[in-house]
Structure 1
Amino acid sequence: MSPHPAEHPVDQKLPALRMATSGLQHVAAMYAGVVAPPLIVGAAVGLTGAELTFLTGACLFTAGLATFLQTLGVWKIGARLPFVNGVTFAGVAPMTAIVASTDDKRDALPVIYGAVIVAGLLGFLAAPVFCKAVRFFPPVVTGTVITLIGVSLLPVAFGWAQGPDPAAHDHGSTTNLGLAAATLLIVLLLRRFTGGFVKQIAVLLGLLAGTLVAIPLGVTDFGPVADADVVGFPAPFHFGAPQFRLAAIVSMCVVMVVSMTESTADMLALGEIVERPADERTIAAGLRADTLGSALSPVFNGFMCSAFAQNIGLVAMTRVRSRYVVATGGAFLVLMGLCPAAASLIAVVPRPVLGGAGVVLFGSVAASGIQTLVRAGLEKDDNVLIVAVALAVGIIPITTPDFYHAFPETARIVLDSGISTGCLAAVLLNLVFHHTGRGRDTTDVTHPMETGEDLTGPVRAPATP
């Protein structure tokens, strides 16, 4: 027996070329998600084109810093898992509401930044308590939540496949859908008929090939590259010193709770996929990275940060589990924030091409959730009910976005997130069926932390979809 145990794949450093290309794949997978919130909020504020470019670059820069915190870690901060962090979309609705309620739009961003700073700091302090909820996430809950993450993301891919602008004449055209289908087919062919390094970067090659196919069709826009500056830096508090208003702070604190709930589910999902289950300590460290990253982000003009679920699908599909690959992706994000011209290269990839790749990535997450449910004891009627009701509750905002339209705006921050509502439903139902009354004696559905099982050892991970 070797005196030095083999290094876990999560901690392995790959050759430079593989590290760079795999890291770039992660950036390509999450780019559209990280730039959408600043574009939406910036448009609501009424920023100029140059200011929108600055705000987008700032969000890329802060996403890179938050990714460093999450993957490399400092002290008790960072899950040290292959997590990409970026601007959470859960904050878009309340941030636009803050903009609408601000008389002078020049104060809107400072008010948002002040609220995010406070919410981030409070979340950082609450992380050690919040992480204890992991004992209520047995396979029947985590499998349901992982499935919901994938299902919730699939409509995003479908929207990308139709085109970037719902009001455009070519939205949902045969050209756009054909590009998405071609990209999907290229990725599938590469995954089926290649091996090794090429197979692992199939998504990146599919994005490149899809973009090349789009050029003669006139779908690719090189305008962002021509107009972008080579060098830029998100100067601290560019839009003004943060302002602290109670209503805005309360609103962003609610978003922080939602974000922490989703991040907990994401960490549990990724822990299963990379064969390093997330225990309380890992989740607490990951939540500290999320919340500290959020608190620091406004300093450089960014927004609240959270783990990006779509990148979990990339890890599940490629089986490249190294956190240093994702840290390399974080370096690319920082570079893009400092070099708008570099950021614009990713922006050249047409949205339908991203949609075709997204079907594979997000579908892989849902498939991983189903594989977790396979070992969740579904031969028991109680577990079937938990999964059935939680999935139904989580799918409501996906299939019927206006279902909760009569509820207060604050409540809708939670209710309109299928991941959050499905997760809460699964946890509550698991409590009712397995932690109260006669159900509390059930042991085969409990989380390993309740049985004393070692959470750091290997578990059977879902197979590659």
Structure 2
Amino acid sequence: MTKIQAPSTEIIRPEDKRLGIGPSFIYGLQHVLTMYGGIIAVPLIIGQAAGMNRQDIGLLIAAALFMGGLATLLQTLGVPFFGSQLPLVQGVSFASVATMVAIVNGGGGIQAVFGAVIVSAAIGLLIAPIFSKIVKFFPPVVTGTVITTIGLTLMPVAANWAMGGNAKAPGYGSTSNILLAFGTLAIVLLLSKLGNATISRLSILLAMIIGTVVAVILGKADFSKVGVGPFFAFPTPFHLGMPTFQIAGIISMVIVVLVILTETTADILAVGEIVGTKVDSKRIAAGLRADMASSIVSPIFGSFTQSAFAQNVGLVAVTGIKSRFVVSAGGVILVALGLLPIVGRIVAAVPMSVLGGAGIVLFATVAASGIRTLATVDYKNNMNLIIVAVALGFGMLPIASPTFYDDFPTWFSTIFHSGISSAALMAILLNLLFNHLKRGNSENPSVFAAGTDRQIDISILTHLKDGDRCEDGKILDADGREIPLVNKPATGH
């Protein structure tokens, strides 16, 4: 007798969809191009601060690409207890730049930076489960605020790229640079409107290619140095020296790790919201562990703290490609770039102005996604409006005035210098204060609360008695019997 097999009821998560090898690597390359400028910026800054020669700085860049790829694979594919299995691209964290430069300038050198990263990441790995438990304190009023802030805080990055990327370079901020950025943005919009589904999804990548071709014609792109340097190079463990461990540097990096954990939690929640998948405390903990485990290994190969790249969250929103395997393909490309410096040099030749044009739409899309989340929040007869307002205000302060917290203690300025962590911390604290710790809340909300727009004739109250109530559109008395509604003409009393 033939058995009839019951249809599978397993629900496939949006992020688990596979697109095939070809499309995955094409869309993965788009992710790499989106974050390439950001991932090479940190080793450039740290290498220059440490007084390293071009060859050693090149090794730092190769290590950043190599470790970013491995960290991305761990985050997207996952192993037990490590990796959120979400479409998140990993790379060197911007949050650690100021602290690492301070360690270098303090006489510790690049080796002290490596030691501080290893120890602080190990501490972060231990406390990751604690951070994962705060997911219940991230309702839409918090996540929407944080996602919006992520997009807004990235706009200065897009503006800097559009102007040329290097303030000391000739032509920085020139009309030609900005017009090239706007031209790239226009191509993105044009392809999104006129192209078919495939072209629309590849609009960012195609616009970068077209923008680069235009830049070559205008003489604003230089590929002459692509062939200078080794074709293949494997990052050698501890090739820049063994790490050293200084208490002051470790303490300052622990503060940075707390900021990174906060920002990564926000990124995980943001991409989960965009993808439309369930994100619980276990998944957040696994994502944070992947961050910290990658950060522990990074200094061995000459790199730094790893975290999720917020700009790639915007790319997921723009393209609608939710597959984590697409980002995994991007991770493979990053590893290849780390092993093949010549390929990295080709990608690095893409003008920053072209990246800036794409960045405008990418980063603004993140903010728009946050606004969409905030639109689902209930603002009536509560303090959610003031929570959003104050948290956004704190998030914008370091963007509007980068030196705002310079005179505060180092630990304080390190945390609040990041607009994302500022907004996240304020949104969480205010949500706790007004929506969880309700004792002491006024029965009559302040002027900042959005009241209901409905009105009921006060004369109705004269007919109600103790125990009367409204259920399912019916008025019931104390015994649960329905009170009929009648339409009586006015009596003139």
Q: TM-score, normalised by structure 2?
A: 0.87
Q: 1:380 to 1:158 in 2, by over 3 A?
A: farther
Point out the more displaced range, 8-17 or 355-364: 8-17
Deviation at residue 413 of structure 1 after TM alignment = 1.1
Structure 2 residue 45 is the aligned partner of structure 1 residue 40: yes
Contact 1:59 1:86 in 2 (8 A): yes
Task: Tell me whether 1:69 sits opposite 2:70 in the alignment.
Answer: no
**Residue 187 of structure 1 corresponds to which residue in structure 2?**
188
TM-aligned CA deviation for residue 381 of structure 1: 4.7
Deviation at 1:170, TM superposition (A): 1.2
SS at structure 1 position matched to 2:234 = coil
Counterpart residue type for residue 305 of structure 1: Q
Structure 1 distance, partners of 2:315, 2:441, is: 37
Amino acid at match of 1:293: S
Summarize the alignment of residues 170-319 of structure 1 with structure 2, pairs less than 5 Å apart: 170-319=171-320
Partners of 1:101 and 1:67 lie apart in 2 by 32
Where has structure 1 moved over 4 Å in runs of 4 or more? 438-442
SS of 1:306's partner is strand
Q: Is the 8 A contact 2:14 2:277 kept in 1?
A: no
Paired amino acid for 2:301: F
Aligned AA for 1:374?
A
Q: Is the 8 A contact 1:268 1:277 kept in 2?
A: no
The match for 1:134 is 135
Q: Is the 8 A contact 1:228 1:344 kept in 2?
A: no
Displacement of 1:195 after TM fit?
1.8
1:433 alignment counterpart: 434
- Do the aligned partners of 1:9 and 1:322 also contact (CA within 8 Å) in 2? yes
SS at match of 1:244: coil
> What is aligned with 1:20?
25
* Deviation (angstroms), 1:17: 1.6
Contact 2:148 2:370 in 1 (8 A): yes
Following superposition, the deviation at residue 409 of structure 1 comes to 2.5
1:384 partner letter: L
Change (3 A) 1:251 1:223: farther
SS at structure 2 position matched to 1:225 = coil
What's the counterpart of residue 382 of structure 1? 383
The alpha-carbon deviation at position 438 of structure 1 amounts to 4.2
Residues 417-443 of structure 1 deviation map (CA, whole Å, 9 limit, x = unaligned): 00001111111110110111348999x
Question: What residue in structure 2 maps to residue 94 of structure 1?
Answer: 99
1:79 partnered with 2:84: yes
The secondary structure found in structure 1 opposite 2:226 is helix
State the match for 2:54 in structure 1.
49
- 1:407 lines up with 2:408 in the alignment: yes
Give the deviation of 1:376 after TM superposition. 1.2
> 1:158-169 to 2 correspondence within 5 Å?
158-169=159-170
Q: Match of 1:412, SS?
A: helix
Amino acid across the alignment from 1:437: K
SS of 2:113's partner is helix
Q: Is contact 1:434-1:440 (8 Å) kept? A: no
State the distance in 2 between where 1:143 and 1:441 align: 25
Q: After TM superposition, give the deviation of residue 2 of structure 1 in Å.
A: 3.6
Compute the displacement of 1:380 (Å): 4.1
CA–CA distance in structure 2, aligned partners of residues 277 and 361 of structure 1: 24
Counterpart CA distance in 1 for 2:326 and 2:440 is 43
Q: Which amino acid aligns with 1:93?
A: A
CA deviation vs aligned residue, 1:334-375 (integer Å, no higher than 9, x gap) = 001001001111101100000000011101100000000001
Match of 2:352 in 1: 351
Partner of 2:126: 125
CA distance in structure 2 between the aligned counterparts of 1:403 and 1:244, rounded to whole angstroms: 31
Aligned to 2:367: 366
Query: CA shift at 1:199, angstroms?
Result: 1.3
Q: Deviation of residue 196 (structure 1)?
A: 2.0
TM-superposed deviation, 1:411: 1.9
Cα distance in 1 between the residues matched to 2:439 and 2:225 = 62
Q: Which has the larger radius of gyration?
A: 2
Aligned to 2:465: none
Q: Secondary structure at the match of 1:298?
A: helix
Q: Is the 8 A contact 1:224 1:347 kept in 2?
A: no
Partners of 2:46 and 2:358 in 1: CA distance? 26
User: For the residues of structure 2 that align with 1:196 and 1:114, how far apart are their CA atoms?
Assistant: 48
* Structure 1 residues 379 and 193: CA distance shift in structure 2, 3 A: farther
Matched residue count: 438
> Which one-letter code corresponds to 1:242 in the other structure?
P
Looking at structure 1, the residues matched to 127 and 28 of structure 2 have their Cα atoms a distance apart, in angstroms, of 31
> In structure 2, how many angstroms separate the alpha carbons of the residues matched to 1:205 and 1:80?
27
Give 1:104-115 correspondences, 5 Å limit: 108-115=109-116
Q: In 2, distance between residues paired with 1:313 and 1:108? A: 35
Q: Contact 1:10 / 1:82 at 8 angstroms: preserved in 2?
A: yes
**Could you say what the CA RMSD is over the residues aligned between the two structures, in angstroms?**
1.5
Question: CA–CA distance in 1 between the matches of 2:295 and 2:74?
Answer: 11
CA–CA separation in structure 1 for the residues paired with 2:204 and 2:24: 15
Q: Partner of 2:91: helix, strand, or coil?
A: strand
Superposed CA offset, 1:365-402 (max 9, x none): 00000000001113345010000010001000011111
State yes or no: 1:336 paired with 2:341.
no
Offset of residue 55 of structure 1: 0.7
Partner of 2:145: 144
Segments of structure 1 that go 5 or more residues without pairing to the other structure are: 443-465
Conserved? CA contact 1:160–1:351, under 8 Å: yes
1:222 positional shift: 1.2
2:163 aligned with 1:155, yes or no? no
Aligned to 1:448: none
- Give the structure 1 partner of residue 323 of structure 2: 322
3-state SS, counterpart of residue 296 of structure 1: helix
Shift of 1:91: 0.6
Q: CA deviation at 1:35?
A: 0.5
More helix by share: 1
- Residues 77-132 of structure 1: per-residue CA shift (max 9 Å, x gap): 00000010000001110100001111xxxx51111111111111111111111111
